[in-house]
Amino acid sequence: MKRIMLIARREYGAYAKTVGFWLSLLAFPLFAVLGGVLPALMMSAEPVRNVVVLEDGPQAQGLAAAVQGAVRLEQERRQARMAEATAEAEKQGGQAGASAAGQALNRLAGLRLRIVATPAELSAAQPGEAREAIARRYLGDAVPEADQLDSVVLLNRIDGKPAARVWTRRATDDTVEDFVRDVLKDANRREAFEQAGINAAVVEETERFRPDITALSPKSATGGEVSFRDRLPTIIGLVSGFLLWSLVITGASILLNSVMEEKANKILEVLLSSASATEILTGKVLGVAMLTGTVMLVWGGIGTFGLLAANAETAAMVGEVLLDGGMLGYFIAYAVGGYLMYAVLFAAIGAFCETPRDAQTLMGPIMMVLTVPILVMVLAVQTPDSPVVQILSWIPFFTPFLMSARAPSEPPMIEVVGTMAGMFAFALLMVWIAGRAFRAGALSDVKLSWRGFAGAIRGGGK
Amino acid sequence: MAAALTLEGVSKRYGDFQAVRDLSFQVEKGTICGFLGPNGAGKTSTLRMILGLQAASAGRIDILGSDDGRKVRDRIGFLPEERGLYKKMTPVDAIAFFGALKGLPTGEGRKRAREMLDAQGLGESRNKKMKELSKGMAQKVQLIASVVHRPEFVILDEPFSGLDPVNQQGLEAMIRKLAADGATVLFSTHVMQHAERLCDKVVLLARGQKAFEGTVAEAQATSKRFLELEGAIDAAQAAALPGVSGVEVVSEQDGVRVLKAALGQGGRGQEALKAAFLGGLDVRRFELREPSLHDAFISLTGDHPDIDQSVKAGAEAAR
C-alpha cells in the first residue's frame, strides 16, 4: 500500500506541480464563459448603421414606407421582448438585477440599423448613374465624417416585383441587404394577397401573430405546466454525460502518455524492480484519478461560485437536482466505473508503446468506440426509453456516459442496478486483463499489434 | 562461503526462441561476480529472472534465501541496461523516491542522496533537473538511486556502457566500495577489461548457455599464451619454430607481416626467439603475451564472428 501511495503521489505531483496543468484546468471554464459571452459582446459592440432609403422613381412607390415600417415594427418587437425578459429578471433577482438585465438586454436587443435623413443632393439627383455616383461618395471618406453613411438602399421594381440596389460601406457587411430582402419579400406577399382580394390589415395582423404555447406534463413538479425547474435535470444529465466523457478520456489519456513516457525513458523496468506491476498500475491509476478529482473539484467550485453569483435561485435549483435527485451519486459512481475501465486499458496500451505513433494502432478502434456515446447522448436525453438507447446503455463501455445522461429521466431501477453492476464487473475484468498486459508490455520490446496485445494478456508477462 | 545467489538448471524460452538454456551457477556473499557474454547471450533475461521480473521456463533460482526475487526486492539494488530517470525530478528527489520504494524513509533517503552525490562530485548538481545533467552524471545518479537503500545484493546490467574512461574508473571504485561494505555484486558486461580488474569470479555465457564459471585466473588458464611476430617472414617459417602452433597472419604490408601464434603447454618463448635468430629470420618485433580474459572468452565460447565482434567492440570501448 505504501508503494502504491508513493507512486500515486509522484504521478499526481508530476502534473499538479506544473503551471501548464493549472492553466489548462482554468482554460476550460474561461473558454466556456468566453464562448457564451463573446458572441453577445460582439453583438453589443456592433455599430448601428446609418441607412438612407430612396425610391428610384414612381414605380417603386410605397417600398420606402415598407422598409421604414419594418424597422419601426422590429424595434417595437424587440422592446416588447426586452420588457418580458426584464420582468422575468425582476421576479428572480429583484429590482437591481432587473435593472442590470434591462441595460444589458437593451445593448444586445437593439436593431443594428437606423434610417437617417437623405442628403439633399442625393434625393435631388436623377435615378441611375448620377444618383449612384453620389451614393458611392457618401459611403467613402470624400464627405465629412458626420455626413458619412453606412448604406444607401435604392428601391425599384423589376418586372413589377419589388427589388433593390443596396450600397454598403463594407463589401462584407450584409446586415442591411438581409433586412431589405426580408422586407421586400413581405411587401411582395402583401401585394399578392391584396391583389387576391385579402385586406391589408388582415395580412398585417396575421404576420404579427405569435402563438401562446404552454408545455404541460403530468411529471412536472406541479403536475401540469412544465417549468425551467422541470427541464433542469435533463440539462444537467446532458452536461454530466459530456463532462464525464471529457474527464474520463482526459484522465485516461494522461495515464497513457505517462506510462508511454516511462516506457520510453526506461523507468518502468526500474520501477518493476521496486514494486509489482499491480502496485505500479494501481498507483498510477490512483494518481491520475486524484488529478481528475482535482479537475472536478476546481470546475465544480468555479461553476458553483459563478452560478451563485449570477443567479442564486438557479444555483439552488441545480443543487437540489444534484443532491436531492441523486444525480451527484450517479455521477460519482459512473465516473469511478468509467475511469477505471478506460484508464487501465489506456495504461496497458501505454506499456507497449514508446511514442504516440506506436499507440495509434490500438487507439484508433478505441476512439471510434468512444464516439458512439457522444453521438447517442442527445438521443438518450430526449428519448431515454428508446430501444437503441436502452440496449447501448447495457454495453459497459457506453454505460457511464449514457446512463449519466438518462439518470434525470428516472430509468427503471432494474436498468440502473443492472447496468451499474455490469459496468463494475466489466471494470474489474479490465483491471485483470490490463494488469497482465501491462506487466508483459513493460518489459517487452515488441512492436504492438492487437495480436501481440492478446498474446500478452494470455501470457500475462510470464 | 555461503551463496547469496544460486541458479540450478534455469531455462527461459520466448515462443520458439530459447534465450537461456540449463544455466547453473552460484555467487558467494560479499563477492563481485562478472556475468559476461556477447550481446544477445541471454544475460538480461537471466538478470530479470533473478529479480523475479520474468518467470523462468524451467529450473530454480534462490536469491538471499528466497525462491522469488520479488519477495526480497527491498534487499536488492538493480541498475537496468537501458537507463532513465524522471527528467523533471532533481537528483535528490529521484534518489529519495526510488529509496522510498525500497522502504527507506524519505527524509533518510534525501539525506543519504545528498551525501552520496557529494561523494561522487555531484553536489552542485543535486538541485538541477535530471534533464539538465550529462549522460555520465545521470548514470551516476541512477546507480546511487539503485543502492541508496544499502542493498545486500546489487545487480548491475551493463553498468559501464556509455561512460567515458574517467567515469568508468569512478564506477569501478563505487562497485569495489559496495563489495567492501559487504554487498554482493553481480554485474553483466561484454567488456572483459572491467571484469578482469573487478571480479572475484566470472560466469561466461554464450548463446544462452554457461561456457565457464570460475576466477579470472582460472579463465585465463584455459587459454594458450600467444606470440606476436612482425617481420619479413611467412607463416610456414613461424610454424617451424619450437612450441609454436596455429599461426595466422594478422596483417601484411610491403612484405612485412604481423603473425599471431599459440605457444603450447610447456613451450618457451626464449627457445622460439633463439631459433628465429639462428635460422636467420628477419624478425623485427617478438612479443610474448599472457592470455587475457578476452582471449579466454574467445577460446571458451568458440571463435564465433558475432561474439568476436562484440567482444572486440567492448574492448575498444574500454580503451
Q: Which of A38-52, A146-160, A434-448, B124-138 has the lowest mean pLDDT?
A: A434-448
Q: Are B260 and B289 in contact (CB under 8 A)?
A: no
Do B53 and A443 make contact, defined as CB atoms within 8 angstroms? yes
Give the closest-approach CA distance of A409 to chain B in angstroms: 48
A49-88 pLDDT, tens digit each: 899 999 887 777 888 888 888 888 888 877 777 777 777 6
| Mean pLDDT, chain B, whole residue set | 82
Q: Which three cell numbers stand for residue A80?
A: 416588447
B240-265 pLDDT, tens digit each: 888 787 788 888 888 888 888 887 76
- Compare CB distances from A265 to B53, B70, B84 and report the shortest one's residue: B84
Task: Say what the pLDDT of residue A103 is.
Answer: 59
Residue A336 has pLDDT above 90, yes or no: no
d(CA B174, CA B156): 12
Q: Average pLDDT in the B57-71 region?
A: 89
A123-144 pLDDT, tens digit each: 888 888 888 899 999 998 888 8
φ, ψ at A275 (rounded to 5°): -150, 160
Residues 6+ apart with CB under 8 A from B286: B227, B228, B229, B230, B269, B273, B276
Report the residue of B47, B51, B53, B74 to disrupt the A interface, i.e. the one with the largest count of A CBs within 10 Å. B53
Residues 6+ apart with CB under 8 A from B52: B68, B69, B70, B71, B73
More confident residue, B71 or A207: B71
Task: Say what the pLDDT of residue A166 is.
Answer: 92
Q: Average pLDDT in the A251-258 region?
A: 84
- Compare CB distances from B80 to A6, A7, A269 and report the shortest one's residue: A269
Q: Average pLDDT in the B212-236 region?
A: 82
Residues 6+ apart with CB under 8 A from B308: B298
Q: Average pLDDT in the A303-331 region?
A: 81
Residue A440 has pLDDT above 80, yes or no: no
Q: Choose among B192, B158, B198: nearest CA to B178.
A: B198
Task: Say what the pLDDT of residue A453 is.
Answer: 63
Q: How would residue B319 be classed by pLDDT, with cut points 50, 70 and 90?
A: very low
B51 in A contact zone (CB under 8 Å): yes
**Residue with cell string 528466497:** B66
Task: Say what the pLDDT of residue B316 is.
Answer: 47
Task: Say what the pLDDT of residue B304 is.
Answer: 45
In the sheet that A151-158 helps form, which strands lie side by side, from edge to edge?
Answer: A113-115, A49-55, A151-158, A161-168
More confident residue, A184 or A315: A184
Residue B312 has pLDDT above 70, yes or no: no
Task: Say what the pLDDT of residue B317 is.
Answer: 44
Residue A359 has pLDDT above 90, yes or no: no
Q: Which of A220-229, A385-394, B252-261 has the lowest mean pLDDT?
A: A220-229
d(CA A185, CA B211): 98
Task: Say what the pLDDT of residue B134 is.
Answer: 82
Q: What is the DSSP letter of B133?
A: S
Do A273 and B80 make contact, defined as CB atoms within 8 angstroms? yes
- Compare CB distances from B97 to A2, A10, A272 and report the shortest one's residue: A10
Residue A95 has pLDDT above 60, yes or no: no
How many C-alpha atoms does B223 have within 13 Å on its Cβ side? 24
pTM of the model: 0.70
Residue A173 has pLDDT above 50, yes or no: yes
Residue A217 has pLDDT above 70, yes or no: yes
Q: Average pLDDT in the B289-308 region?
A: 66
Q: How would residue A184 be classed by pLDDT, with cut points 50, 70 and 90?
A: very high
Q: Average pLDDT in the A392-420 region?
A: 86
A 432-451 residues inside an 8 A Cβ radius of B: 443
Q: Which three cell numbers stand for residue B18?
A: 530459447
Q: Which residues of A touch B55 (CB under 8 A)?
A: 462
Cross-strand partners of B230: B258, B285
Domain spans, chain B: 3-217, 224-290
Give the fold, CATH level 3, of B3-217.
Rossmann fold (3.40.50)
Q: Which three cell numbers stand for residue B136?
A: 555520465
A32-44 pLDDT, tens digit each: 777 777 777 777 7
Tell me which H or E stretch contains B250. strand B244-253
B173-188 pLDDT, tens digit each: 888 888 888 899 998 8
Q: What is the CATH number of domain B224-290?
A: 3.30.70.1710
Residue B303 has pLDDT above 60, yes or no: no
Q: What is the 3-state secondary structure (H, E, C) of chain A?
A: CHHHHHHHHHHHHHHHCCHHHHHHHHHHHHHHHHHHHHHHHHHHHCCCEEEEEEECCHHHCCHHHHHHHHHHHHHHHHHHHHHHHHHHHHHHHHHHHHHHHHHHHHHHHCCCEEECCCCHHHHHCCCCHHHHHHHHHHCCCCCCHHHCCCEEEEEEEECCEEEEEEEECCCCCCHHHHHHHHHHHHHHHHHHHHHCCCCHHHHHHHHHCCCCCCCECCCCCCCCECCHHHHHHHHHHHHHHHHHHHHHHHHHHHHHHHHHHHHHCCHHHHHHCCCCHHHHHHHHHHHHHHHHHHHHHHHHHHHHHHHHHHCHHHHHHHHHHHHCCCHHHHHHHHHHHHHHHHHHHHHHHHCCCCCHHHHHHHHHHHHHHHHHHHHHHHHHHHCCCCHHHHHHHCCCCCHHHHHHHHHHHCCCHHHHHHHHHHHHHHHHHHHHHHHHHHHHHHCCCCCCCHHHHHHHHHHCCC
Do B84 and A461 make contact, defined as CB atoms within 8 angstroms? no
Task: Say what the pLDDT of residue A171 is.
Answer: 87
Do B84 and A14 make contact, defined as CB atoms within 8 angstroms? no
Q: Which three cell numbers stand for residue B105?
A: 524513509
Residue A112 has pLDDT above 90, yes or no: no
Percent of chain B with pLDDT over 70: 93
Report the residue of A270, A278, A354 to disrupt the B interface, i.e. the one with the largest count of B CBs within 10 Å. A270
Q: Average pLDDT in the B161-170 region?
A: 81
Q: What angle do CA A13, A15, A21 make, to 5 degrees?
A: 135
Residue B310 has pLDDT above 60, yes or no: no
φ, ψ at B259 (rounded to 5°): -115, 150
Q: Which residues of B touch A265 (CB under 8 A)?
A: 84-87
Task: Say what the pLDDT of residue A200 is.
Answer: 76
Task: Say what the pLDDT of residue B127 is.
Answer: 84
Task: Say what the pLDDT of residue B308 is.
Answer: 44
d(CA B14, CA A430): 25
Tell me which H or E stretch contains B308. helix B305-318
Q: Which three cell numbers stand for residue A225?
A: 405546466
3-state secondary structure of B76: strand
Do B85 and A265 make contact, defined as CB atoms within 8 angstroms? yes
Residue A193 has pLDDT above 60, yes or no: yes
